Amino acid sequence: MAIDIDVERRFGASVIGAQFTAEAGLTALFGPSGVGKTSLLNMVAGLLRPDRGHIRIGGRTLFDDATDLPPEARRVGYVFQDGRLFPHRRVKANLLYGWRLADPANRWMTLDEAADFLGIGHLLGRWPQSLSGGEAQRVAIGRALLAAPQILLMDEPLSSLDAARRGDIMTVIERIRDELKVPILYVSHDRAEVDRLATQIVEVGK
């Protein structure tokens, strides 16, 4: 599935933008902090409107001069740096939130399949505040997958984890890339992480 992005957004005197085409796999948006990598993800997700350009995924136009789909219509799953689980919902309810967001005709994974794939079946009755950082990030990934995305956005999902849990989650991401074959746009400023995970690297801020 081709991802075609050419966007630009001005913030005061600075301009954030990128132009690239990616196929299936993991495309890393790589560069130092503050160059606009997260802003680019937010443009793809529909949380930030570009000043100009286009965003097309799998032949569908998400944004151009005539189109600006709302976030819920974009079929984009988003995994944030800090997980952002709902603290008042148990793990199962957090996962089902993603599943209920999806049009039933577009769903390609069940709750049981996601729990099995991510190894979180034993966590379904737990509250988010009782989870380790790695467990919480697995749940966040599951919620995003259950929203039936055509593409997955990941914004530095390993930055708050210790070395052992970083390795565990990288293995999960590799399985999503290789087994589920969901295209991933991945933000990082860690070169070793990018070298392990990425099938394509887009340098931002150069």
Note the pLDDT tens digit of each residue in 108-166: 999 999 999 999 999 999 999 999 989 999 999 999 999 999 999 999 999 888 888 88
Confirm if 153 and 76 have CB atoms less than 8 A apart: yes
CATH of the domain at 145: 3.40.50.300
Question: Which are the contacts of 57, defined by CB distance < 8 A and separation ≥ 6?
Answer: 1, 2, 3, 4, 74, 75, 76, 150, 151, 183
For 90, the domain range is: 3-203
Tell me which residue has tokens 């009755």: 125
In the chain, the number of structural domains is 1
Tell me which residue has tokens 């190894």: 119
Report pLDDT digits (tens) over 161-206. 888 888 999 999 999 999 999 999 999 988 999 999 999 999 887 6
Indicate the pTM of the whole model. 0.91
